[in-house]
Amino acid sequence: DGIPCVYGVTELLNNEDIIKEHLKTDVEFLHPKQKLFSSEIIVKSFKSRPTHYRKGATSKDNKRRLTIDEIAKEDERIIRDFSEKKLSSKYGEMLGARKKLPAWTLRNDILNFIQQSQVVVISGETGCGKSTQVPQFILDDWISNYNQKHLEIVCTQPRRISAIGVAERVANERLENAGSTVGYQIRLESKVSSRTRLTFCTTGILLRRLESEPTLPNVTHIIVDEVHERSDESDFLLLILKDLLPLRSDLKVILMSATLNAVLFSEYFGDIPVINIPGRTFPVEQYYLEDILEATGYILEDGSEYCRKMKNDSEYIDAVMAGNELTVIKPRDNIRDENLTVQQMMARYEDFSPKTCKTLFLMDSDKINNDLIETILMWIVNGSHDYPKSGTILVFLPGIGEITSLYDQLVVHEEFGRRRRKYIVLPLHSSLTSEEQAAIFSKPKNGERKIVISTNLAETSVTIDDCVFVIDSGKMKEKHFDSNRNMESLETVWVTQANGLQRKGRAGRVMPGVCIHLYTRHRFMNHFLPQPIPEIHRIPLEQLVLNIKVLPGLCERDVNEVLGSFIEPPIPENITSAIGRLQSVGAIDKADNLTPLGHHLASLPVDVRIGKLMLYGAMFGCVDAALTIAACLSHKNPFVSPFGKRDEAHKKKMTFSAHFSDHITVLIAYKKFLEMCKKSPAAARNFANENYLSHRALFTIADIKYQFLELLVDIGFVSVDLSRNKRRTGKDLVQDITGSEFNANGENFRLLSSILCAALYPNIVKVLTPSKTYIQSAVGAVPKQNEAKDIKFATPKEMVFMHPSSVNYTINSFPSAYLVYQEKVRTSKILHL
Ligand code: CDP
């Protein structure tokens, strides 16, 4: 067995005094505008329910409070206006298009089912018109048969981008702008008015509304869209709705799902009716990796002996055909595997054997081979095949980092680049602005052909109508529990068979299509899971426990019992450990009651440790640094350590090193990278390459950081103007909050390390120099200095070493006896006692 090493380490010195000193300086700077955070006020707002939620610059809601009579008048006006609109030819055109959607044929059945049953499930292929049409069926029916009853439909969407997209589309179909009868509400942005009768919102928004309106007295219909995605929020909402139904016999609940698992939802609500909207798709031809390599003749140009040898070898084809997989190694982006010889490969991968070719690894971890994708794109547009030379090409990649990287490569490409004006390359992910999203749906001008590079957003949430080719990288991002870090993390994982099929289906909506999977048939058949695992079984449950604790009605019940009534309940051990972690973070007290900190953490949909770091960063005036570190913790360290170049990479990293801290080192490197971004994209890229920093990871960190900032603004801990018009990806992404009052202590690294300590506690070790061995202290008793030696020999398991990647690895003596660490990993280092 290897021994545990700690990773991501910051030295701690006199932190208690520093915190005290800053706490004394006055609450003024903790929240300059509103003086909210003296402990007295926190407790007060906590007791009287969440008033602080409204303190942020969150709502542009112009909904006036109306009397019942006024509402009735408004209802009549809506109906009158709509009756006029219906007569226009433009409306007729829109209606014509709507009538072509498969959902339209079942319009009456759907309405009848909804009338007869309090809850129904509607399932149908993605793109059949569930999201855009079903809410309108209800709205139109109300208008046609108006009987002075009020109507308020709320339709939840799993993502912000779909809430806005669908609302705008539906408003458009009714010749309106969003914010009139059809509106949307997402974090930090809402377009609703007193006329709004149909609101598309994110699931989180409805959950939050339930905190102040537990029975949603004015809502008549709740539509939960995309229930098949099984996000923890949507599972939670179903549980709440199940409890709510008997209290609100007049409330209608409609669950909408892609074709998967509709029965599961029906059973959960006591065998409620399921309506299936029949699909309409064309056949899609599939190419797996081995097929496409053969079709394109792609040469693995990596200088690796193995690949070249195998490529020219019939053994290679045989091996592939026998269902084995091959290695794709790419030099440019993936420095780690550069120029590997057979010997190095054998040393690196246990299961590598050039003779039998029984290797089962390819494009592993988070690596995506952009050159291969580029070759496939060339084959699609110019290749010798009989497939159409028009129609949108959709590329599925795991996340924003990978999308940005391919995008950057394509826009300067001689065939696909902007200069030729033959193609229009569009990124599609959840943090696009409305304008960018509109480009996805619009028809390109001048006969340009669209290449959309998307996350799994285009799998079920967004439908691109004229898509004919799909390139499926086989990768997606998924939330997981990382036991090394003891926190939630977003990991790049292989998709499941269900995802692969869904991606394939995207190619056959208007005519027969082609789907190219960047994994072998063998992997698909033998290694992919059939279905995604529901989020609630993958993620730590802290957030859910906190959400239960803030919801009236649920907060009095036993957490175990509430979680036990989920559609597929989590295992009890996970609940117990979540409660333990919440106690150690200080979010709940010993009696399991929510603390003020817990109350704020409940409104931040991030891992509680990250949340704590963000809140403290805002409170102590070092929000920018805290958010950068929080983003790194939740994504990954941007420093790379290429095989064979570890020493060089480490030396470069050491040039940024400061304050005996890996976190501050990353922070300094990130800031330098941002400076380079301001100069030019090329300067930034060179800087990243020269310093062994992953360009892609830095961009992703920038994006996550922005999202975290939005969360803090939303709950009123920071007030800056976050206009949606600012681009959220790329170099101009990061809001410059460094100069603001929320960052008055931005350069105070001692304060920053104190905050890190508070956030990562109990990950503390005590230094037992000079042997570079450390002992965990916070989880057990702190050993006295002179006892340490004995303990080291008595219980070697408690000892940890510094991970070689840490900037502190070569340090022999620290100013302080304590270090805080982010991660404990087992390495191959052997302990010699
Ligand atoms: O919900 P479901 O996946 O069944 O379909 P939908 O989202 O209602 O989409 C129905 C049609 O509207 C598709 O052809 C979409 O491409 C189109 N649509 C659109 O053009 N713009 C949007 N923002 C949303 C949908």
Render pLDDT for 251-275 as a digit per residue (tens, 0 to 9).
999 999 887 678 899 999 999 999 9
Quick one: 476 exposed, middle or buried, by C-beta within 10 A (0-12, 13-18, 19+)?
buried
For ligand 1, the distance from its centroid to the CA atom of residue 721, given in whole angstroms, is 32
Would you place residue 174 in the very low, low, confident or very high pLDDT band (cuts 50, 70, 90)?
Answer: very high
CA distance 718 to 88: 47
The upper half-sphere exposure of residue 564, i.e. CA atoms within 13 Å in the direction of its Cβ, equals 8
- What tokens appear for 203 in the block? 């699931």
For ligand 1, the distance from its centroid to the CA atom of residue 203, given in whole angstroms, is 19
Most confident residue range from 162-176, 346-360, 769-783: 162-176
Q: Shortest CA distance to 695 belongs to which of 730, 743, 644? A: 730
Q: Shortest CA distance to 493 belongs to which of 513, 473, 467? A: 473
- Would the pLDDT of 30 be above 50? no
For residue range 400-430, list pLDDT tens digits in order. 888 988 998 999 999 999 888 899 999 998 8
Q: What is the pLDDT of residue 56?
A: 32
- Mean pLDDT of all residues in 54-71: 55
- Would the pLDDT of 4 be above 70? no
Q: What is the DSSP string of 804-823?
A: TTSTTTT----SSSEEEEEE
Q: What is the DSSP string of 747-762?
A: T-HHHHHHHHHHHHTT
* Residue showing tokens 């030696």: 789
Q: What is the DSSP string of 583-614?
A: HHHTSB-TTSPBPHHHHHHHTS-S-HHHHHHH
Q: How far is CA 162 from the centre of its chain?
A: 14
H/E element holding 310? helix 305-311
- Mean pLDDT of all residues in 165-180: 94
Most confident residue range from 127-131, 479-483, 790-794: 127-131
Q: Shortest CA distance to 154 belongs to which of 123, 111, 116, 192? A: 192
Protein residue whose Cα sits closest to atom 24 of ligand 1: 166
For ligand 1, the distance from its centroid to the CA atom of residue 463, given in whole angstroms, is 6
The upper half-sphere exposure of residue 541, i.e. CA atoms within 13 Å in the direction of its Cβ, equals 26
Would you place residue 559 in the very low, low, confident or very high pLDDT band (cuts 50, 70, 90)?
Answer: very high
Q: What is the pLDDT of residue 88?
A: 93
For ligand 1, the distance from its centroid to the CA atom of residue 177, given in whole angstroms, is 17
CA distance 542 to 526: 34
Q: How far apart are the first and last CA of the chain?
A: 14
For residue range 498-557, list pLDDT tens digits in order. 999 999 999 998 889 999 998 877 778 877 898 889 999 988 899 999 999 998 888 888
Sequence-ordered list of residues with C-beta below 8 angstroms from that of 198, at least 6 positions apart, any chain: 135, 136, 138, 139, 153, 155, 170, 181, 182, 183
For ligand 1, the distance from its centroid to the CA atom of residue 830, given in whole angstroms, is 57
Atom number, ligand 1, closest to the C-alpha of residue 460:
3
Protein residue whose Cα sits closest to atom 23 of ligand 1: 165
Would you place residue 367 in the very low, low, confident or very high pLDDT band (cuts 50, 70, 90)?
Answer: low
- Mean pLDDT of all residues in 225-236: 93
Beta strand 475-482 with 423-428: parallel, antiparallel or unpaired?
unpaired
Q: What is the pLDDT of residue 773?
A: 60
For ligand 1, the distance from its centroid to the CA atom of residue 130, given in whole angstroms, is 8
Atom number, ligand 1, closest to the C-alpha of residue 463:
16
CA distance 275 to 120: 8
Would you place residue 398 in the very low, low, confident or very high pLDDT band (cuts 50, 70, 90)?
Answer: very high
Would you place residue 732 in the very low, low, confident or very high pLDDT band (cuts 50, 70, 90)?
Answer: very low
Residues within 6 Å of ligand 1 by CB: 101, 124, 126-133, 165-166, 169, 441, 463, 465
Sequence-ordered list of residues with C-beta below 8 angstroms from that of 359, at least 6 positions apart, any chain: 324, 325, 326, 327, 349, 351, 352, 353
Q: What is the pLDDT of residue 38?
A: 36
For ligand 1, the distance from its centroid to the CA atom of residue 262, given in whole angstroms, is 20
Query: 3-class DSSP state for residue 222?
Result: strand
- Mean pLDDT of all residues in 281-306: 69
- Mean pLDDT of all residues in 272-289: 89
Atom number, ligand 1, closest to the C-alpha of residue 165:
23
Quick one: 186 exposed, middle or buried, by C-beta within 10 A (0-12, 13-18, 19+)?
buried
Protein residue whose Cα sits closest to atom 21 of ligand 1: 169
- Mean pLDDT of all residues in 614-624: 91
- Would the pLDDT of 597 be above 60? yes
Look up residue 797 and give its DSSP letter. Answer: G
Lowest pLDDT segment from 52-61, 227-236, 547-556, 626-635: 52-61
Q: What is the pLDDT of residue 224?
A: 97
- Would the pLDDT of 249 be above 70? yes
Q: Shortest CA distance to 403 belongs to which of 428, 440, 372? A: 428
Q: What is the pLDDT of residue 285?
A: 96
Would you place residue 642 in the very low, low, confident or very high pLDDT band (cuts 50, 70, 90)?
Answer: confident
Task: Give the whole-number percent of the chain exceeding pLDDT 90.
Answer: 40
Going from the C-alpha of 631 to that of each of 30, 100, 627, the distances in angstroms are 22, 45, 6
Most confident residue range from 11-15, 36-40, 288-292, 576-580: 576-580
What dihedral do alpha carbons 342, 344, 350, 354 form, nearest 10°?
0
CA distance 752 to 620: 9
CA distance 301 to 375: 12
Q: Give me Rg for the CA atoms of the chain.
A: 28
- Chain-wide mean pLDDT for the chain? 78
- Would the pLDDT of 13 be above 80? no
- Mean pLDDT of all residues in 170-186: 94
Sequence-ordered list of residues with C-beta below 8 angstroms from that of 343, at least 6 positions apart, any chain: none
Would you place residue 65 in the very low, low, confident or very high pLDDT band (cuts 50, 70, 90)?
Answer: low
Q: How far is CA 86 from the centre of its chain?
A: 40
Protein residue whose Cα sits closest to atom 13 of ligand 1: 127
Q: What is the DSSP string of 699-721?
A: HHHHHHHHHHHHHHHHTTSS---
- Would the pLDDT of 614 be above 90? yes
Would you place residue 334 in the very low, low, confident or very high pLDDT band (cuts 50, 70, 90)?
Answer: very low
- Would the pLDDT of 379 be above 80? yes
Q: What is the pLDDT of residue 272?
A: 94
Atom number, ligand 1, closest to the C-alpha of residue 509:
14
For ligand 1, the distance from its centroid to the CA atom of residue 63, given in whole angstroms, is 28
Residue to probe by mutation, ligand 1, list 463, 465, 509, most atoms within 8 Å of CB = 463
Protein residue whose Cα sits closest to atom 15 of ligand 1: 463
Residues paired with residue 4 on neighbouring β-strands, in sequence order: 826
Q: What is the pLDDT of residue 423?
A: 94
- Mean pLDDT of all residues in 298-302: 49
For ligand 1, the distance from its centroid to the CA atom of residue 430, given in whole angstroms, is 16
Protein residue whose Cα sits closest to atom 20 of ligand 1: 441
Lowest pLDDT segment from 49-53, 320-324, 368-372: 49-53
For ligand 1, the distance from its centroid to the CA atom of residue 127, given in whole angstroms, is 5
Atom number, ligand 1, closest to the C-alpha of residue 124:
4
H/E element holding 685? helix 681-690
In the sheet with 252-257, reading across from the earlier edge strand, the strands are 189-191, 182-186, 198-202, 153-157, 221-224, 252-257, 119-124, 274-277
Would you place residue 108 in the very low, low, confident or very high pLDDT band (cuts 50, 70, 90)?
Answer: very high
Q: What is the pLDDT of residue 316?
A: 41
Helices of type H across 427-565: 434-441, 457-460, 497-505, 521-526, 542-550, 559-564
Residue 10 backbone phi and psi in degrees, to 5: -130, 135
Q: What is the pLDDT of residue 547?
A: 93
Q: Shortest CA distance to 783 belongs to which of 796, 769, 765? A: 765
Residue to probe by mutation, ligand 1, list 169, 184, 441, 459, most atoms within 8 Å of CB = 169
Query: For residues 346 and 379, is the Cβ–Cβ distance under 8 A?
Result: no
For ligand 1, the distance from its centroid to the CA atom of residue 170, given in whole angstroms, is 9
Query: For residues 581 and 540, is the Cβ–Cβ distance under 8 A?
Result: yes
Protein residue whose Cα sits closest to atom 8 of ligand 1: 129
For ligand 1, the distance from its centroid to the CA atom of residue 162, given in whole angstroms, is 10
Quick one: 169 exposed, middle or buried, by C-beta within 10 A (0-12, 13-18, 19+)?
middle
Residue to probe by mutation, ligand 1, list 126, 132, 228, 465, most atoms within 8 Å of CB = 132
- Would the pLDDT of 193 be above 80? yes
For ligand 1, the distance from its centroid to the CA atom of residue 106, given in whole angstroms, is 16
CA distance 368 to 792: 44
Q: What is the pLDDT of residue 455?
A: 94
